[in-house]
Structure 1
Amino acid sequence: MKNNNVLLGILGGVAVGAALGILFAPAKGSETRKKIADKGNDLKDNFKDSLSKLTDKISKSVEGFKDEAQDLIAEAEQKIKEEKTNLENLKDINESVL
């Protein structure tokens, strides 16, 4: 969550800086509008790329957690089978002693 806020802050700062730079630069109105539109499109593309990278990173983390959970479940099932076998063996031993 903190990384998202930092990323949004940086993108916002870049947008404000670019807009101010364009507005204060001496140019025709049509050139200025074109520059603003181009910068807006660049920022949109950068934001999409950043969002895509973040989504990929989250997906990989979720897959990793899923794999770990499946491994833990398989390990727990194996231990349960082993303990069940041990209990059955103890039951057989106890019955043979009596």
Structure 2
Amino acid sequence: MSTGKVVLGTAAGLAVGGILGILFAPEKGSVTRKQIIDKGNDYADDLKSKYNGIADTLKEKMKAVKKEAKDITEIGIDDFDKVNSEFNDEAKNF
């Protein structure tokens, strides 16, 4: 199971548990609705924060992969140029 699914399942479980806890609390309806809205906003903010953290991590990993690919490409081009130069020198001597 992927980490994203686990995080999403955990967040959903916490949200449902929080809402059920508030619904069964002995408060006035208006107070209960406000508590539900506040908890929902708290969970939404927490989920956004986790999403942004995951997105930032993925961006950093993609940057690292792109840099590594660029480095490998540059090495390959340098090696090709070297071999091509050596080939041309040998062809002239032939």
Same fold (TM over 0.5): yes
1:30 to partner: Cα distance: 1.2
* Counterpart in the other structure of 2:15: 15
The equivalent of 1:28 in structure 2 is: 28
Distance 1:68 1:14 in 2: 40
Higher gyration radius (CA): 1
2:47 aligned residue? 47
Counterpart secondary structure, 1:26: coil
The Cα of 1:92 is off from its aligned counterpart by 2.9
Q: Equivalents in 1 of 2:70, 2:82: separation in Å?
A: 18
Number of aligned pairs? 94
RMSD of aligned alpha carbons:
1.3
- Quote the residue 2:87 is aligned against: 87
Which whole-Å CA distance do the structure 1 matches of 2:6 and 2:47 have between them? 13
Q: Which amino acid aligns with 1:73?
A: T
Corresponding residue for 1:78?
Answer: 78
1:34-62 deviations in whole A, cap 9, x for unaligned?
Answer: 11010000011011111111111111111
1:56-86 superposed Cα distances (whole Å, 9 cap, x missing partner)? 1111111111101110110010000110111
SS of alignment partner, residue 68 of structure 1: helix
Instruction: Tell me which amino acid in the other structure corresponds to 1:89.
Output: D
How big is the shift at 1:89?
A: 2.3
Residue 55 of structure 1 aligns with an amino acid whose one-letter code is: A
Unaligned runs of 5+ residues in structure 2 are none
Structure 1 residue aligned with 2:67? 67
Gaps of 5+ in 1: none
Identity across the alignment (%)? 36
